[in-house]
C-alpha cells in the first residue's frame, strides 16, 4: 500500500489528473464502494480530501462506515461528467485515524464541522486507474494504471 503522495511521486501525471477529477467542484467528491462479509458491495457518494499527501474522508454512522471498520477494503471512483468523459479510481484499504492531533488538524480544514459522530478514515492506495476519452463518443477509453510497488505507470 502507498499514500497518495507516494503514488503521486511514482505516477505524477496520473495523480494530477485523478486529483482534478475528484475536485471538479470546490470540494472533493467521489463514489465510495465498500464490501462486507459476503454481502453485495455498497456504493455511496462521499466528500474526500487530499491533504498533506494523504487521502481522507470523514464518515458518519452508516453501513459504509461499518463496512470500512470491519473490512477496510474500498474503491473510490470520480464522478463522470458526460462533457468531460474521463474517469479515475483508486483501490486499497481504509484505516481509522484515532482521535488526537492528526484528526483535529484535518477537521479544522474540512468542508463542514465533523462532530463526534464522524470518524476520520485514511485511504491507502493499492492501485489507481485513469480512463481518458477525448469525446463522449470515443470508445474504449485509453487506460493508464499504477500499482503500489511498481516502478511507475503501466
Cα→Cα distances 27→24, 62, 104, Å:
8, 21, 19
Q: Count Cβ atoms below 10 Å from residue 2 Cβ, excluding itself.
A: 21
* pLDDT over 70 at 46, yes or no: yes
* Number of structural domains in the chain: 1
Decide: 94 and 123 in contact? Cβ < 8 Å: yes
Does residue 66 sit within a domain?
yes
The 3-state DSSP class for residue 3 equals: coil
Does residue 47 sit within a domain?
yes
Q: Report the C-alpha gap between 67 and 121 in whole angstroms.
A: 12
Residues in the chain, total: 154
Does residue 109 sit within a domain?
yes
Residue 55 domain boundaries = 4-147
Region 73-82 average pLDDT: 92
pLDDT given at position 152: 53
Burial class (CB in 10 A: 0-12, 13-18, 19+), 131: middle
Q: What is the CATH number of the domain that holds 68?
A: 2.30.110.10
pLDDT given at position 85: 87
pTM, to two decimals:
0.92
Does residue 153 sit within a domain?
no
pLDDT given at position 151: 59
pLDDT given at position 66: 93
pLDDT digits (tens, 9 = 90+) for 95-154: 999 999 999 999 999 999 999 999 999 999 999 999 999 888 898 999 999 999 875 544
Q: Report the C-alpha gap between 98 and 83 in whole angstroms.
A: 40
Does residue 154 sit within a domain?
no
Amino acid at each position: 500500500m502507498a499514500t497518495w503522495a507516494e503514488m503521486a511521486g511514482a505516477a505524477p501525471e496520473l495523480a494530477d489528473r485523478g486529483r482534478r477529477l475528484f475536485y471538479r467542484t470546490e470540494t472533493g467528491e467521489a463514489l465510495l464502494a465498500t464490501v462486507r462479509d459476503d454481502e453485495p458491495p455498497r456504493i455511496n457518494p462521499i466528500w474526500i480530501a487530499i491533504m498533506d499527501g494523504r487521502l481522507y474522508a470523514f464518515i458518519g454512522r452508516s453501513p459504509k462506515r461499518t463496512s470500512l471498520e470491519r473490512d477496510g477494503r474500498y474503491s473510490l471512483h470520480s464522478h463522470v461528467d458526460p462533457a468531460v468523459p474521463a474517469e479515475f479510481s483508486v483501490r486499497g484499504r481504509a484505516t481509522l485515524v484515532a482521535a488526537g492531533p492528526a484528526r483535529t488538524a484535518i477537521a479544522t480544514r474540512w468542508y463542514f464541522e465533523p462532530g463526534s459522530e464522524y470518524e476520520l478514515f485514511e485511504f491507502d492506495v493499492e492501485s489507481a486507474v485513469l480512463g481518458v476519452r477525448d469525446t463522449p463518443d470515443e470508445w474504449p477509453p485509453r487506460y493508464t494504471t499504477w500499482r503500489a510497488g511498481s516502478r511507475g505507470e503501466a
